[in-house]
Structure 1
Amino acid sequence: MSAKFLTHYQVLGLAPTATERDIKIAYRKAARISHPDRGGDPALFRQVTEAYEVLVDPVRRQTYDRSYASQGTPGRRGTGATYPGGSSARPTASASDGETPGFHTRRKPAERRTAGDPAMYVPAYESLADGEMPLLPRTTAAQPVHGAPRKRGVFGAASRLAREARTAQLIMQQVMPGIPAARLIHGLNAPFSNGYLDHVLISGYRIAIVGSMLVPDGAFRWDGGALVHGNKVAAPPQLIPATRQFQELFPECNVTAWVCVHSSTGSLFEPVIDYARGTDPDGSNILNIANAARFVREVKQFLASGPNPNVVDLQVLARLLGGMY
Structure 2
Amino acid sequence: MAERRTHYEVLGVPQNATHDEIKTAYRRAARRTHPDHGGDADEFRRVSLAYETLGDPAARSSYDRNYGGLSGSSTGTTTSPPSAATPASGFTAGAHGSSGTSRATRTPTYVPAYQDGVVPPLGRELAEQRVHGTPRKRGLFSAHARLQREAQTISLISNQVLSVLPAARLVNGIHSPGDRGFVDHALLAGYRLALVDSMLLPEGIYRWDGQTLFRDGKPIRPPRLSPAVSKMQELLMPEVNVTGWTVIHSPNGNLHEPVIDYARGAEPSSSSSLTHVVNSANLVRELKMFLGTGPTPNVVNVPVLGRLLGGMY
Q: Does 1:278 align with 2:251?
A: no
SS in 2 for 1:233: strand
Amino acid at match of 1:124: A
Matched residue, 1:134: 120
Match of 1:240 among 198, 220, 226: 226
Count matched residues: 232
2:266 partner amino acid: T
Query: Is 1:98 aligned to 2:83, yes or no?
Result: yes
The answer as to 2:250 corresponding to 1:263 is: yes
Residue number among 304, 320, 324 corresponding to 2:312 in the alignment: 324
1:124 is aligned, of 113, 134, 144, to 113
* 1:112 has 2:112 as partner: no
For residues 135 and 191 of structure 2, the distance between their equivalents in structure 1, rounded to whole angstroms, comes to 24
Residue type matched to 2:113 in 1? A
Asked if residue 200 in structure 1 is aligned to residue 186 in structure 2, the reply is yes
Retained in 1: the 8 A contact 2:204–2:216?
Answer: no
Bigger CA radius of gyration: 1
CA distance in 2 between counterparts of 1:216 and 1:152 reads: 24
Shift of 1:141: 0.5
Deviation string 1:28-72 (CA, Å, 9 cap, x unpaired) is xxxxxxxxxxxxxxxxxxxxxxxxxxxxxxxxxxxxxxxxxxxxx
User: 1:7-86 to 2 correspondence within 5 Å?
Assistant: 83=56, 85=58
1:165 counterpart residue number = 151
Where does the alignment leave 5 or more consecutive residues of structure 2 unmatched? 1-18, 21-54, 68-79, 94-103
Partner residue in 1 for 2:199:
213
The correspondence for 1:144, drawn from 125, 130, 138, is 130
Q: In structure 2, what residue type is equivalent to 1:145?
A: V
Contact residue 201 and residue 248 of structure 2 kept, 8 A: yes
Quote the sequence identity (%). Answer: 48
Judged with a 3 Å threshold, the aligned counterparts in structure 2 of structure 1 residues 266 and 248 are, in CA distance, closer, same or farther, namely same
Aligned partner of 2:278: which letter? A
Name the aligned partner's letter for residue 309 of structure 1.
P
Contact 1:256 1:283 (C-alpha < 8 Å) held by counterparts: no
Q: Is the 8 A contact 1:283 1:299 kept in 2?
A: no
Structure 1 stretch displaced more, 196-205 or 226-235: 226-235
Work out the CA distance in 1 between the residues paired with 2:150 and 2:143: 10
Q: Unaligned 5+ residue runs, structure 1?
A: 3-81, 100-105
- The answer to whether the 8 Å contact 2:91/2:293 transfers is no
Q: Aligned letter for 1:257?
A: G
Ranges of 4+ aligned residues in structure 1 off by more than 6 Å: none
Alpha-carbon deviation of 1:305? 1.2
**Structure 2 length as normaliser, TM-score?**
0.68
Do the aligned residues in 2 keep the contact of 1:215 with 1:261 (CA within 8 Å)?
yes
Query: TM-score normalized by structure 1?
Result: 0.66
| SS of 2:242 mapped into structure 1 | strand
SS at structure 1 position matched to 2:266: coil
Verify: 1:294 aligned to 2:282, yes or no.
Answer: yes
On the 8 A contact 2:167/2:190 being kept in 1, the answer is: yes
Q: How far 1:153 sits from its partner (Å)?
A: 4.2
Compared CA separation, residues 187 and 261, structure 1 to 2 (3 A): same
